[in-house]
Amino acid sequence: MAAPYRAMLRSPLVIVVSIATVWFIVAFLVFPNVNLLVTTFFPGGQFSGRSVEKLFSSERAMTSLWHSLLLAVTLSITVNVVGIFIVLVTKYFEIRGARILFLGYATTLIYGGIVLAAGYNFIYGRYGFITAAVQNVFPDIDPNWFSGYFAVVIVMTFATTTNHMLFLSSALAKIDYQTIEAARNMGASTGRILWRIVLPALRPMIFAVTVLTFLIGLGALTAPLVLGGSDFQTIAPMILTFSKTSSSRDLAALLAIILGLATIIVLAVMNRVEKSGVYFSVAKVATPLQKQRIRNPLAAAVVNVVAWVLFVIYATPVLLIVLFSFLDSTAVTTGVITASDFTLANYATVLGTPAVLRPFIVSVVYSALAAVIVVGGLLFVARVVQKYRNRFTASLEYLLHIPWILPTILIALALIMSFDKPNPLVGGAVLTGTTVILLIAYIVVKVPFTLRLLKAGFASIPDSLEDAARILGAKSLFTFRRVLFPLVLPTAAAITALNFNSLLDDYDAAVFLYHPLYEPLGIAIKASTDGENNLDSMSITFVYTVLLMIIMGLTMYLVYGRSGKAQTGKADGRRSRRVRIAEVPTGAPVGHTPDEPRR
Amino acid sequence: MITFDNIEVSFGEHVAIPDLNLEIAEGEFFTLLGPSGCGKTTALRTLAGFIDPSRGEIFIDGAPATHLPSEKRRVGMVFQNYALFPSMTVRQNIAFGLAVRHTKKDETTRLVDEIAGQVELTDAQLDKNVAELSGGQQQRVAIARALVLKPRILLLDEPLSNLDAKLRVQLREQLKNLQSELGITTVYVTHDQEEALTMSDRIAVFNHGVVEQVGTPEEIYNRSASEFVCTFVGANNRLSPALVSRLGLADRPSYLRLEKVSLLRPADAAAAVPLTGTISARAYHGAFSTYSVDVDGSDLRVTSTETGVAPREVGSSVDLFVDPRAVLQY
């Protein structure tokens, strides 16, 4: 037997970890998805194209496919236009008040998904404050003006520039400033430098972000569901609708498979392009980027005006949500607010009524459990995969990335359809309809992101530390406990926090898998947007949203703010060394990751 | 003390060391010298027990140690980046090996204090986190951590390469003094010829995994066994065939150390061949200058101590003296 395998088999811990990982992969990553394919194309054991025929004969389904494609293409343009602009005004150009602008644009880091869609709906929707206020002046205006394709594109454009804020900013910071100085020295203007030097250097990242945006558009669920109305429904809401009845479940599965296939193809293209080589700087000693002044006064004025208009667009929903959380829902829906309308009653209701607080608690428990389990388990898996490099561990690693290429909706649907009868892979239990299945889904979707970062965490620890411990006589477990674990712990804690955050307001998995008695927050928020009868819960949703923003903002500060300070602040040996090893890449936004774009 | 007997080390298809044979004596300061990628660190890591050789045996004190786990070889190692544990204080780092061996607290404190004194670490520094120390201090901690277990052999993998030039010279002397004091057998890896020449009792010069020469620093420098050793260690003039012929030597690749070319008539004038050339460049080094002199198609470099006398002009003619016995031929 080859030496790497012998070394693995010498450790009982490695054997246990390997067996547990193989079981997890087979039971929750491979079997459900294969089962979904088999159920769709081989019902009753024989190949059948029935579901494909049904798809082609269903006008709703075909329209939803077209709408998804349209949304994906539109967003690829609009998000790039807005995203590149906000990155340039906050990180590249010298604009007065850039820090305040950044805070405004960064609001999407602390709220998104169903919360954001609901927020926009409560402000601009049929019963929204702005709509009501405008109606008071112009009674003839259509109350449904903010719905359909236009509303979905607007909301998703401003919601998904998060990837630009994180990844494009980071790529911009890596440009060697000397290349810009060299161009200027040769007489290039600000615009020419931007067009010929800066943007070409950013092209690979712009391409990557465009791909992510395209995928977000393709698999969008919450925005079309809440704001699309009956005229603009995309694949994901259709999958949800079709999955509710057993007669159309095969159609739901087929749509999910199409979504999955599209995702795989687009990601494969992206991987291929990425491998062609990306060089932000070829300098041995790169010089940090310095902000550029816009020399043309007219251009400077236009840029400033657009930047501040965008700031208002970004910041308004957040500010209004905070404001409305202190108001009675009647004041919001009538569009008339007086000083006497402000009250703490909504907070008292949420925090003082167990039934109202329940969705919040359910989501916190689910998110915390999933975050801790996935990090705790993968701590060992990442170590094994990183330490023993052979075909077996490489296969484990590849298979654990399955959720990365599959949309959450498909994973959820596959789980429902695979564990609805006793299954020997889980000890003969039925999981569909239980509280466990949502937890499993949460763990599954967080596996690739967690594994990648934990593995990077272990890889960032120099091998020589382990060699040093070994030559001093320490056994593997002692070395893991005393040397490696303390070093990887900050990374593990940060990943736990990020996972917790991103699951807190989940809707995509919950809507398929939640237990009726344990309704999570995403479901409760969505319910509050369902027409006139639920207007009372609007204020409760505002409070939920504020609480979520506080938690997400806090996590953001703990993970990025503190480490950022430690990295750039006063040299404190202990802190800076720890942070360097525990560094969480900027590729890991608070709520949502590149692996799992917010849909 | 240490024997490498027909050691071969391969990584997959790549053979890093084809056949290494070395004898290192007890108490010796032995240096493995060579350029990057020549196999010197691989040889050291094989001796440490981190790499299993594909063939051959390693003996320590006459006993086979090839398959002995590294912790049982009684070797201490200082890594290139020191490999200090960043989550621990200086004291905890030094005491790590003692903790593994469940040494009693009092004894641990005594041993740590003792070794800290020897490597000149203060009490205040012992309680700091290792990241708070300077590079030189970190290097002392790494040495203390390696020595506190009283190993028979100390392995040093380019321990000075991360330090600035002045500190490197200072620590070089301290390290050599400490080794002499303790009398510990030391195997030192470096690519810096000056470090090797000033610190070592003997040097093995590596090239592509093969030892080209083993000898004292004087032997390596003055009687370089191969063209590679000659060009890698010390500065040289490569002589043109015309000059080699004029010196009455066989037509082979020939080299002459800079200091073997004299601008003044040497005491042993009978053996020296007088030459005339034209100065083409001068480089000022402070204590001395280096002149490039064009002689018979050879660009001979010659050093001249700055004694306050006006320097020679570029373009002027100059007389040189070369003793053909000093020419190294391959």
Structure tokens at A111: 């709220």
The alpha carbon of residue B108 is apart from the nearest alpha carbon of chain A, in Å, by 14
pLDDT band at A284 (very low <50, low <70, confident <90, very high): low
Give yes or no for residue A582 having a pLDDT over 70: no
Give the residue among B52, B62, B53, B54 at the shortest CA–CA distance from B3. B62
| A340 sits in which H/E element | none
Split chain B (330 residues) into runs of 10 and give each run's mean pLDDT.
Answer: 95 93 96 95 94 94 91 90 90 94 95 93 93 91 94 94 86 91 95 95 96 97 94 92 90 92 76 88 90 87 82 87 91
**Residues in chain B closer than 8 A to A470 (CB atoms):** 50, 69-71
Average pLDDT over residues A18-25: 97
Average pLDDT over residues A442-454: 94
Q: How many CB pairs under 8 A join A and B?
A: 76
Average pLDDT over residues A514-524: 94
Task: Look at residue B227 in the predicted model and tell me its pLDDT.
Answer: 95
B145 touches chain A (CB under 8 A): yes
Give the residue among B175, B2, B25 at the shortest CA–CA distance from B73. B2
The reported pTM is 0.77
How many angstroms separate the CA atoms of B195 and B29, rounded?
12
Please state the φ and ψ torsions of residue A496, each to the nearest 5 degrees: -60, -45
Across the interface, do A471 and B75 touch by the CB < 8 Å criterion?
yes
Task: Look at residue A396 in the predicted model and tell me its pLDDT.
Answer: 94
A478 touches chain B (CB under 8 A): yes
A481 touches chain B (CB under 8 A): no
Residues B157 and B78: beta-carbon distance below 8 Å: yes
B96 touches chain A (CB under 8 A): yes
Task: Look at residue A444 in the predicted model and tell me its pLDDT.
Answer: 97
B81 touches chain A (CB under 8 A): yes
B11 touches chain A (CB under 8 A): no
Amino acid occupying residue B195:
E
SS3 A584: coil
pLDDT band at A595 (very low <50, low <70, confident <90, very high): very low
Task: Look at residue A570 in the predicted model and tell me its pLDDT.
Answer: 37
- Provide, for chain A, the percentages of residues in helix, strand and coil under a 3-state DSSP scheme, each rounded to the nearest 5: 75, 0, 25
Q: Which among A471, A473, A573 has the least Cβ separation from residue B131?
A: A573
Our CA dihedral for A190, A195, A197, A198, rounded to 10 degrees, sits at 90
What does each C-alpha distance from B190 to A375, A435, B9, B44, B202 come to in angstroms? Answer: 42, 62, 19, 11, 13
Q: Which among A474, A486, A576 has the least Cβ separation from residue B87?
A: A486
The alpha carbon of residue B249 is apart from the nearest alpha carbon of chain A, in Å, by 46
First to last CA, chain B: 33
The alpha carbon of residue A563 is apart from the nearest alpha carbon of chain B, in Å, by 16
Q: Going by C-beta distance under 8 Å and a sequence separation of 6 or more, which residues neighbour residue B36? A: B191
How many angstroms separate the CA atoms of B308 and B288, rounded?
10
pLDDT band at A39 (very low <50, low <70, confident <90, very high): confident
Of A358-362, A580-584, B302-306, which range is least confident?
A580-584
How many angstroms separate the CA atoms of B102 and A478, rounded?
12
B132 touches chain A (CB under 8 A): yes
Q: Going by C-beta distance under 8 Å and a sequence separation of 6 or more, which residues neighbour residue A571? A: none
pLDDT band at A593 (very low <50, low <70, confident <90, very high): very low
The alpha carbon of residue B4 is apart from the nearest alpha carbon of chain A, in Å, by 20
Q: Which among A3, A464, A483 has the least Cβ separation from residue B81?
A: A464
B92 touches chain A (CB under 8 A): no
Across the interface, do B71 and A577 touch by the CB < 8 Å criterion?
no
Please state the φ and ψ torsions of residue A429, each to the nearest 5 degrees: -85, 160
Long-range contacts of A42-49 (CB under 8 A, 24+ apart): A43/A250
| A11 sits in which H/E element | none
Residues B72 and A475: beta-carbon distance below 8 Å: no
Burial class of residue B24, CB neighbours in 10 A (0-12, 13-18, 19+): buried
pLDDT band at A535 (very low <50, low <70, confident <90, very high): low
Give yes or no for residue A584 having a pLDDT over 90: no
ipTM field: 0.78
pLDDT band at A283 (very low <50, low <70, confident <90, very high): low
Residue appearing with tokens 């959820």: A412
Across the interface, do B87 and A483 touch by the CB < 8 Å criterion?
yes
CB < 8 Å from A in window 49-78 of B: 49-50, 52, 69-71, 75-77
Give yes or no for residue A596 having a pLDDT over 50: no
| A580 vs A155, residue with greater confidence | A155
Q: Which among A471, A573, A576 has the least Cβ separation from residue B70?
A: A471
Structure tokens at A49: 């194209």
Sign of the alpha-carbon torsion through A77, A118, A164, A448? negative
Across the interface, do B71 and A471 touch by the CB < 8 Å criterion?
yes
Average pLDDT over residues A114-120: 89
Amino acid occupying residue B16:
A
A470 touches chain B (CB under 8 A): yes
B240 touches chain A (CB under 8 A): no
How many angstroms separate the CA atoms of A541 and A505, rounded?
12
**Residues in chain A closer than 8 A to B89 (CB atoms):** none
Sign of the alpha-carbon torsion through A242, A245, A247, A250? positive
**Residues in chain B closer than 8 A to A484 (CB atoms):** none
Task: Look at residue B232 in the predicted model and tell me its pLDDT.
Answer: 95
pLDDT digits (tens, 9 = 90+) for A313-353: 999 989 999 999 998 878 877 778 888 888 899 999 999 99
- Helices (H) then strands (E): counts for chain A: 33, 0
**Residues in chain B closer than 8 A to A3 (CB atoms):** 52
Across the interface, do A478 and B77 touch by the CB < 8 Å criterion?
no
Percent of chain A exceeding pLDDT 90 equals: 48
pLDDT digits (tens, 9 = 90+) for A130-140: 888 888 888 88
Q: Which residue of A has its CA nearest to B134?
A: A573
Task: Look at residue A208 in the predicted model and tell me its pLDDT.
Answer: 86
Chain mean position to CA A593: 4
Across the interface, do B70 and A474 touch by the CB < 8 Å criterion?
no
Structure tokens at A378: 């993968």
Of A213-227, A391-405, A577-591, which range is least confident?
A577-591
Amino acid occupying residue A584:
V
Q: Going by C-beta distance under 8 Å and a sequence separation of 6 or more, which residues neighbour residue A257? A: A36, A37, A40, A410
**Residues in chain A closer than 8 A to B49 (CB atoms):** 471
pLDDT digits (tens, 9 = 90+) for A173-196: 888 888 888 888 888 888 889 998
Across the interface, do A471 and B96 touch by the CB < 8 Å criterion?
no
Q: Which among B80, B86, B133 has the least Cβ separation from residue A487?
A: B86
Across the interface, do B100 and A468 touch by the CB < 8 Å criterion?
no
Q: Which among B80, B133, B149 has the least Cβ separation from residue A472?
A: B149
Task: Look at residue A567 in the predicted model and tell me its pLDDT.
Answer: 43
Give the residue among A206, A191, A166, A176 at the shortest CA–CA distance from A292. A191
Percent of chain A exceeding pLDDT 70 equals: 90
Mean pLDDT of chain A: 86
Across the interface, do B86 and A578 touch by the CB < 8 Å criterion?
yes
A574 touches chain B (CB under 8 A): yes
Q: Which among B48, B71, B131 has the least Cβ separation from residue A473?
A: B71
pLDDT digits (tens, 9 = 90+) for B54-91: 999 999 999 999 989 888 899 999 999 899 998 899 99
Q: Which residue of B has its CA nearest to A471?
A: B71
Burial class of residue A57, CB neighbours in 10 A (0-12, 13-18, 19+): exposed
Of A300-304, A382-386, B44-48, which range is least confident?
A382-386
**Residues in chain A closer than 8 A to B84 (CB atoms):** 468
How many angstroms separate the CA atoms of A524 and A538, rounded?
10
Q: Which among B52, B71, B132 has the least Cβ separation from residue A472?
A: B71
| A495 vs A7, residue with greater confidence | A495
Across the interface, do A483 and B77 touch by the CB < 8 Å criterion?
no
Task: Look at residue A599 in the predicted model and tell me its pLDDT.
Answer: 37
How many angstroms separate the CA atoms of A255 and A108, rounded?
29
Task: Look at residue B46 in the predicted model and tell me its pLDDT.
Answer: 95
Structure tokens at A227: 């704001």
Q: Which residue of A has its CA nearest to B81?
A: A464
The DSSP output letter for B151 is -
Task: Look at residue A562 in the predicted model and tell me its pLDDT.
Answer: 57
Long-range contacts of A290-299 (CB under 8 A, 24+ apart): A290/A177, A291/A91, A291/A92, A291/A93, A291/A94, A291/A98, A292/A92, A292/A93, A292/A94, A292/A180, A292/A190, A292/A193, A292/A194, A293/A93, A293/A94, A293/A190, A294/A93, A294/A94, A294/A190, A295/A189, A295/A190, A296/A190, A296/A191, A299/A191
Across the interface, do A574 and B48 touch by the CB < 8 Å criterion?
no
> For A59-198, where are the alpha helices, taking DSSP H only?
59-87, 98-105, 113-124, 129-137, 149-159, 162-163, 169-173, 177-185, 190-193
The alpha carbon of residue A533 is apart from the nearest alpha carbon of chain B, in Å, by 57
